[in-house]
Amino acid sequence: MSLGELVLSLADNKQLLGLRYAEWATRAPSLEADIAAAGMGLDDLGHCRVLYGCLEPLGDDPRPGLARDSDPAAYWSLPYFDQPFASWSHFVAANAVLDTAFTALIQACVEGSAEVLQTRLRKMLMEERYHFLHGRSWLRSGIDRAPLDEAWRQAVAWFGPPGGELEELHRSGVLSMGPAELLARVSDRLGASPPKVAVDWKAWDSKRRREGAGGGIDERTFNMLRGLEEKRFMPAGA
Amino acid sequence: MTHVYNRVQGEAKEYEVFARKLRVEPLRQIGTVVAPDADLAAAYARATYDEERWIEMAIVARDQVMTLWAPGEESAD
């Protein structure tokens, strides 16, 4: 795994998280939460654009070698985002745990040695502060256990195995934190410990940073990413 | 068990939102948000009122505001 591959994984996850947030813009438990869902969705879609824009200056853009027009698995997002969030608990678990995990890695990039990431990602940390406050507050109000445990599990899997390539990027100074430090940071910020998680690292996909092979984003979302969903609303013959 | 969410009624408080666009301007009240705690109120205020280019934004719980007098009441002097 190269730095470009890690940034692509972060960008794809941010894009899917933004889309999933936005799907709740009219379904959250209060009008304020609706607006926050829409706002956080916009933020994360903006962040993913900035992250995609970092790949070329890094000199390491994996996308040309991927079949992103035909294969949903070419998007390197977590299984948590393969389907729309099934409940508000799913939303909050993603907001609190996964969004905070992504922010921890952004911080590790800002504090690391890659100049393009140091400069371009800094503003994200300010915007993510409000995502964190939103997620932590709702988390403290109590949510269903299953999506929360699943979000923790996928955060652990996304950070990768001990001694893996993300650890190498940490040792070489490209990132200021390795997997253990990243997980500790998420835990400290949320004031909550992850459940005992035993990721099967032998079945772990090092590119998509998720357990197991196969799977991918749902067809409707994949069509939307490819610009096909909008065509349904075009006049006949257009 | 599925949680029932009830974050606006009952425990929720109203927060006044203040902001300004220029250093030479005073903060002015631009709206309110309703939230059960200050963290969520901050997130809601930022999401709701972020369209303009504010250089500063602050929130105050309405129940922390000391009203000296109000419309229709006599002033203290």
Instruction: Mark yes or no for CB contact B3/A144 under 8 Å.
Output: yes
Hey, what are A217's tokens? 């984003």
User: What one-letter code names the amino acid at A170?
Assistant: H
CATH of the domain at A72: 1.20.1260.10
pLDDT for the residue A234: 72
Is residue A151 domain-resident? yes
Contact indicator for A94, A17 with CB cutoff of 8 Å: yes
Q: ipTM value of the model?
A: 0.81
Is residue A123 domain-resident? yes
Is residue A220 domain-resident? no
pLDDT for the residue B6: 53
Is residue A237 domain-resident? no
Model confidence at B1: pLDDT above 50: no
Model confidence at B5: pLDDT above 70: no
Is residue A169 domain-resident? yes
Q: How many Å apart are CA A190 and CA A145, to the nearest integer?
A: 15
Contact indicator for B47, B35 with CB cutoff of 8 Å: no
pTM of the prediction? 0.90
B9, burial (CB in 10 Å: exposed 0-12, middle 13-18, buried 19+): exposed
* Structural domains in chain A (count): 1
Instruction: Mark yes or no for CB contact B1/A144 under 8 Å.
Output: yes
Pick from B3, B35, B39: which is nearest to A32 by CB?
Answer: B35
Segment holding A230, helix H or strand E: none
Percent of chain B past pLDDT 70, that is, above it, reads 83
Return the number of other C-beta atoms located less than 10 Å from residue B58's C-beta: 14
| Alpha helical stretches, state H, A23-144 | 31-58, 88-93, 99-110, 115-120, 122-140
pLDDT in tens, B14-67: 999 999 999 999 999 999 999 999 999 999 999 999 889 999 999 999 999 999
- The sign of the CA dihedral A84, A86, A92, A94 is negative
Q: How confident is the model at residue B75 (pLDDT cuts 50, 70, 90)?
A: low
Instruction: Mark yes or no for CB contact B7/A30 under 8 Å.
Output: yes
pLDDT for the residue A196: 92
The distance of A28 to chain B (nearest Cα, Å) reads 10
pLDDT in tens, A41-65: 999 999 999 999 999 999 999 999 9
User: What one-letter code names the amino acid at A16?
Assistant: L
Q: Per-residue pLDDT for chain A (238 aa), expressed as one digit of tens each?
A: 799 999 999 999 999 999 999 999 999 998 999 999 999 999 999 999 999 999 999 999 999 999 999 999 999 999 999 999 999 999 999 999 999 999 999 999 999 999 999 999 999 999 999 999 999 999 999 999 999 999 999 999 999 999 999 999 999 999 999 999 999 999 999 999 999 988 999 999 999 999 988 889 999 999 989 887 666 667 776 6
Domain coverage including residue A86: 3-208
The distance of B9 to chain A (nearest Cα, Å) reads 10
Instruction: Mark yes or no for CB contact A134/B39 under 8 Å.
Output: yes
pLDDT in tens, A64-85: 999 999 999 999 999 999 999 9
Q: How many Å apart are CA A106 and CA A122, to the nearest integer?
A: 8
Tokens 């371009």, residue?
A: A120
Model confidence at B76: pLDDT above 60: no
Is residue A187 domain-resident? yes
pLDDT for the residue A226: 87
Is residue A218 domain-resident? no
Q: Which residues pair with B57 in a beta bridge?
A: B19
Largest separation between any pair of C-alpha atoms in chain B: 59
pLDDT for the residue B9: 46
Is residue A197 domain-resident? yes
Q: How many Å apart are CA B64 and CA A28, to the nearest integer?
A: 28
Q: Is the CB of A137 inside 8 Å of chain B's CB atoms?
A: yes
